[in-house]
Structure 1
Amino acid sequence: MKRALAAVAVALMTVTGLVATTSTSASAHSTRHSQSHARLGYTQVVVAPPVYDLVTSAGITPAPLNGAKASAFKGTLAAKFPIISYRLRGLQIRHTGGISLTAGTATISLSDFNIDLARGRVSGVVNGTVGDVGRVDLFKIKGSDRGDLGLVRLTLTDTAAGALNTTFGVDAFAENATFGYATPRPFARF
């Protein structure tokens, strides 16, 4: 498991350019901040096509929040979340923005995602009909089985699956089920 996550981390950092620096100063290992999200880029998350089909057939409407963007992509939905900082030590990428899922009066919002490659998890802040849950681990990071959709695969944690099922009164979401695919694009134009 550790070997697989290390390989994903190295591939992710190599592809995204996070290791493009050769600086050995302490600042090369600290968190980077910027007023301009365009300079730091974004992470694109593509919803797995079967999940998108399930969501739309259940009448659940996704909508971007707080500066995120969403659009159609290869028969599913792609959302872009601005990167606000990253840390080479600990392999972390922090984002702003989020997405809401709404069906009738039931709603859940997921926002302010943190990718933590060292732990192989993506956390986010959860709010909605189920209450204000706060920051929890939402996804586990796995190797992608659909390179055309993203560099890594995001599978649901038990907490995320439970929150989705409770919010929408279903039992369709399960721990370790693929939710989508992610590709960080640091320094790309948002």
Structure 2
Amino acid sequence: MKSGIGPEHQQEVLMRFKLLAAAGAFAAAAALVSSATAAEASPRQHGSHLASVHRGYTQVVVAPAVYALIQRAQIAPAPLGSAKAGPYKGTVAADFPIVGYRLANLRIKHAGGLSLSTPQRAIELRNFSIDLGRAKVSARVSGSIGDVGRVDLFTIRPSDHYSLGLVRLTLTQTAAGALNQTFGVIAFSSGETFGYATPRPFAQF
């Protein structure tokens, strides 16, 4: 008997399964790290800082096509605050330290941020929050367009390039509009891949 499920539908089901598996892995990691944090009896004093349980980071890799686009437009990416950024496989990657979890809603919170700027215009994206329950990534947005506040920037989708990231980040309509308005272009569209993300909750930042 032939299956009534075509190849395209099978591929979609497989991609959804991988996304759900990734969400489950993130949630399990969050639970383990949260338990370790709660078990820390008394933090040690180091100068003016308190030592805490290490919580890892999330790596975001800008899609090569987007990196080529922003280079042509002379838009420079740069890390903000405690984030780090540098060359990665022909594009650029940024690492954002994980600072908290909300297990009830499957959220992973981050410090630091990323700026995109030209000599005349700039946009800053800070304090990313991965919301696995809604399959969205939000951040606080400010810059030449003003202080926008926290908005959904990306939709989380299955990766089509696992060497760059576990999941794919596509632009929301709000994010595409903010980028186009900031830099006076029509280069960014809703649904287009902006980059790839891989949370690493136990890796050293």
Pick the TM interval, shorter chain.
0.7 to 0.9
Matched, 1:18 2:24: no
The 3-state SS of whatever aligns with 1:104 is coil
Q: Residue type of the partner of 1:14?
A: A
Matched, 1:54 2:69: yes
**Compared CA separation, residues 36 and 2, structure 1 to 2 (3 A):** farther
Q: Distance in 2 between matches of 1:183 and 1:130?
A: 29
Alpha-carbon shift at residue 15 of structure 1 (Å): 6.8
Partner of residue 165, structure 1: 180
The 3-state SS of whatever aligns with 1:40 is coil
The 3-state SS of whatever aligns with 1:18 is helix
Whether contact under 8 Å (1:32, 1:85) holds in the other structure is no
Whether contact under 8 Å (1:38, 1:187) holds in the other structure is no
Write out aligned runs for 1:98-177 (5 A).
Answer: 98-177=113-192
The 3-state SS of whatever aligns with 1:39 is coil
Q: Runs of 5+ in structure 2 lacking a partner?
A: 1-11, 44-49
Identity %: 54
Partner of residue 63, structure 1: 78
Q: Distance in 1 between matches of 2:143 and 2:15?
A: 34
Max Rg structure: 2
Q: Residue type of the partner of 1:172?
A: A
Whether contact under 8 Å (2:31, 2:103) holds in the other structure is no
Q: What is the Cα-based RMSD across aligned positions, in Å?
A: 2.9
Alpha-carbon shift at residue 184 of structure 1 (Å): 0.3
User: So what's the TM-score if we normalise by structure 1?
Assistant: 0.87
Whether contact under 8 Å (2:173, 2:189) holds in the other structure is yes
The 3-state SS of whatever aligns with 1:119 is coil
Q: Deviations over 1:98-124 (max 9, x none)?
A: 011111210000010000000000000
The 3-state SS of whatever aligns with 2:104 is coil
Partner of residue 76, structure 1: 91
Whether contact under 8 Å (2:81, 2:112) holds in the other structure is yes
Deviation above 3 Å: which 4+ runs of structure 1? 1-7, 31-38
Q: Which structure is higher in RCO with an 8 Å CA cutoff and minimum separation 6?
A: 1
**Compared CA separation, residues 13 and 137, structure 1 to 2 (3 A):** same
Q: Distance in 2 between matches of 1:147 and 1:115?
A: 19
Q: Residue type of the partner of 2:101?
A: Y
What is the total number of aligned residue pairs between the two structures? 184
Matched, 1:186 2:196: no
Q: Runs of 5+ in structure 1 lacking a partner?
A: 22-26
Q: Residue type of the partner of 2:172?
A: T
